[in-house]
Amino acid sequence: MKRITIILIAVLMLMTGCATTKPRTENEKLNVYITTYPLYDFTMKIAGDCINATQIIPTGVDAHEYEPSPHLMAELERSDVFVFNGGGLEAWAERVEDSLSNEGVLVVNTGEGIAKNNDPHIWLSPVRAKQQAEKIYKALIKDDPENADYYTENYKALEKRFDDLDRKYRETLSKATYRDIITTHAAFAYLCEDYDLNQVSITGVSPGSEPSPGRMAEIIKFIKDNNIGYVFFEPLTTPRLADTIANETGIEKLVLDPVEGLTDEQKARGEDYFSLMEENLENLKKALVK
């Protein structure tokens, strides 16, 4: 009898140690923390009011440079789901992934298996953004099976929006006369790969990096040699580099939004990931389709 009791206690301890989710009271909402705006937008389109969602990195803050406070880390340890982009965008998130999992938090690295070449900007490809959204969807139904039907219905609608956006990009950019785009930082490699464009960036993957005088000279020469008409800049960062290139070459500037957040004006207009990506497509069309 004593032997049986010991075995039962051991089994119960194993079961407790293997738990991947935290116990919640009936009808209690999931507490979901999401690092970046695009992932927050995808999550809200899937989950709506069924969760308590928090976007961690504020608009205008460089996700490459952001570091969480001790207070935030304490909140993350008490959360149910933690969603981050991965691919090197939030180095701190990758450092705490295992410790949060050990606390019973369901951690979703949406870039795992998708990001490559140390480039985290996968959400700027509608095809790959859909893969990120699918990972979020699967995590939600795993941690909250009671609302699985609701999440599934919303995810199917979201999936269709990604497919429609991808179709518009393919149809529009298949008619492009030019294939080269000049960008202020190298955020659009996945988009270019998907739609047969060539990104020529002034700086690297991080928008905070500074180009050398030699790199600026290379960009100016490339523009003149290839009859480039536009340089793309980003609305949430200074257009200083784009201004310099435009002044040196006489070309025009256009916005190509990396969709890293919404301004107050954009929020007031009800903009979202899809509207910003539609605007990006219109500007690419203006620059490339003649």
Tens digits of residue pLDDT in 228-275: 999 999 988 888 999 999 999 999 999 999 999 998 899 999 999 999
Look at residues 127, 141, 122 and name the one whose alpha carbon lies nearest to residue 84: 122
> 112 pLDDT exceeds 50?
yes
Residue ranges per structural domain of the chain? 25-168, 174-288
Q: How far apart are CA 211 and CA 223, in angstroms?
A: 16
Contact between residue 73 and residue 100 where contact means Cβ atoms under 8 Å apart: no
Look at residues 41, 87, 113 and name the one whose alpha carbon lies nearest to residue 206: 87
> Measured over all CA atoms, what is the biggest interatomic distance in the chain, rounded to whole angstroms?
89
Separation in Å, CA 94 to CA 83, 128, 209 = 11, 20, 22
The architecture of the domain spanning 25-168 is 3-Layer(aba) Sandwich (3.40)
Q: What is the share, in percent, of the chain residues with pLDDT greater than 70?
A: 90
Span 174-288: which CATH code? 3.40.50.1980
pTM, rounded to two decimals: 0.89
Q: What is the share, in percent, of the chain residues with pLDDT greater than 90?
A: 81
> 14 pLDDT exceeds 60?
no
What confidence score (pLDDT) does residue 238 get?
83
174-288 shares the fold of 25-168: yes
Look at residues 27, 37, 25, 87 and name the one whose alpha carbon lies nearest to residue 62: 37
The residues, ordered by sequence, that sit 6+ positions from 58 with a Cβ below 8 Å of its Cβ are: 261
What confidence score (pLDDT) does residue 5 get?
38
Comparison of pLDDT for 233 and 24, the residue scoring more: 233
Q: How far apart are CA 151 and CA 221, in angstroms?
A: 51
> 16 pLDDT exceeds 50?
no
Q: What is the pLDDT of residues 149-163, one digit of tens each?
A: 999 999 999 999 999
pLDDT band at residue 100 under the 50/70/90 scheme: very high
